[in-house]
């Protein structure tokens, strides 16, 4: 996340360490990090070779991989800048633009530039306009919290956003506060944890294998409406086959740059 003296991301220095627990790092150049498969991935604004060597000596770990790159390369080669989508304007925090929503994308998913995020924002905003009764939402795999913040700006009153990446959770909390929205952020792993799905709308922009797994869970189908995204046309067949019986009703089905989005309504509503 951004904190003084930094007001934007330029270069990223990434250290991947054989560490099973996150180290305490008190450094203004530290952006954040997370654990992945028993290793720690740490992001800094500047070179921290000397400090990382010291950390490895102290903890008895090793550098598995290290890289330095432009922030734009981390963001798939795209400049993160203002854009409009779903009737809302979005802006990264470093642009003083008066946008409806400001986002610190940090180094987690959800800057708004991925077609899947755009499709989800558009589909969600259209659904909220067509169904004014939607008052609560669960955002599964919230990343930066961009979808949750957009839903709050569109009037959804009770929103829970969930991610298994602790940095994404902190970033989503920060983005919710920066946009003066009240969103409950929960750190949880959807492969084992069952969130409270007593909501009107469930939004899931997730990788397709996890979607297939979640389609098999009873709690996943509790909400009246579902927005499903994060998959490409070649994966649709497998997802269709994983839908429950009786299947939900398709309200909408869209594609953008080879990414797909479904809007579903439960058969009992
Ligand atoms: C494609 S990103 C979507 C981010 C944001 N909602 C958007 O639309 O731009 C998927 C998110 O799901 C999270 N995720 C992946 N596996 C997860 C799991 N097992 N439990 C919870 N969150 C998970 C990732 O950390 C990531 O932030």
- Same domain flag for 134 and 158: yes
Nearest to 66, CA basis, from 15, 24, 102? 15
CB of 259 sitting under 6 A from ligand 1: no
Distance from Cα 55 to the centre of ligand 1, integer Å:
29
Question: Last residue of a domain, which of 74, 96, 122?
Answer: 74
Which DSSP letter does residue 72 get?
H
| Residue among 90, 164, 191, 193 to mutate when testing ligand 1 (max atoms within 8 A of CB) | 164
Helix, strand, coil in percent for the chain, rounding step 5: 25, 30, 45
Q: Render pLDDT for 118-160 as a digit per residue (tens, 0 to 9).
A: 999 999 999 999 999 999 999 999 999 999 999 999 999 999 9
CA-proximal residue: ligand 1, atom 1 (nearest): 206
- Residue 223 lies inside a defined structural domain of this protein: yes
Q: Which domain holds residue 49?
A: 11-74
Q: What is the mean pLDDT of residues 202-222?
A: 97
Distance from Cα 207 to the centre of ligand 1, integer Å:
8
- Same domain flag for 44 and 108: no
Q: Render pLDDT for 24-52 as a digit per residue (tens, 0 to 9).
A: 999 999 999 999 988 999 999 999 999 99
* Contact of 264 with 226, CB cutoff 8 Å: yes
Q: What is the mean pLDDT of residues 75-80?
A: 84
- More confident position, 76 or 98: 98
Query: What is the model's pTM?
Result: 0.96
CB of 169 sitting under 6 A from ligand 1: no
Banded pLDDT at 97 (limits 50, 70, 90): confident
Banded pLDDT at 176 (limits 50, 70, 90): very high
């Amino acid at each position: 996340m951004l904190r003084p003296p930094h007001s934007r991301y330029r270069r990223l220095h990434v250290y991947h360490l054989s560490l099973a627990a996150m180290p305490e790092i008190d450094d203004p150049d530290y952006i954040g990090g997370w654990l992945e498969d028993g290793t720690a991935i740490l992001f800094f604004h500047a070179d921290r070779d000397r400090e990382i060597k010291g950390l490895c000596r102290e903890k008895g770990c090793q550098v598995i991989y290290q890289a330095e790159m432009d922030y734009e390369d981390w963001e798939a080669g795209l400049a993160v800048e203002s854009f409009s989508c779903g009737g809302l304007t979005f802006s990264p925090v470093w642009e003083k633009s008066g946008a409806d929503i400001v986002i610190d994308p940090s180094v987690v998913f959800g800057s708004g530039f991925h077609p899947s995020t755009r499709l989800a924002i558009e589909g969600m905003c259209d659904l909220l306009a067509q169904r004014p009764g939607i008052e609560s939402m669960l955002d599964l795999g919230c990343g930066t919290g961009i979808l949750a913040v957009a839903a709050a700006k569109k009037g959804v009153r009770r929103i829970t956003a969930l991610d298994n990446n602790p940095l994404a959770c902190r970033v989503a909390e920060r983005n919710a506060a920066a946009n003066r929205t009240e969103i409950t952020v929960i750190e949880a792993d959807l492969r084992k944890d069952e969130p409270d799905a007593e909501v009107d709308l469930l939004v899931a922009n997730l990788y397709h294998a996890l979607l297939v797994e979640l389609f098999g869970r009873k709690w996943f189908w509790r909400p009246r409406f579902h927005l499903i995204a994060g998959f490409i046309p070649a994966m649709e067949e497998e997802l269709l086959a994983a839908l429950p019986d009786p299947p939900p009703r398709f309200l909408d089905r869209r594609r953008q740059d080879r990414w797909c989005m479904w809007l579903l309504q439960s058969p009992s509503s």
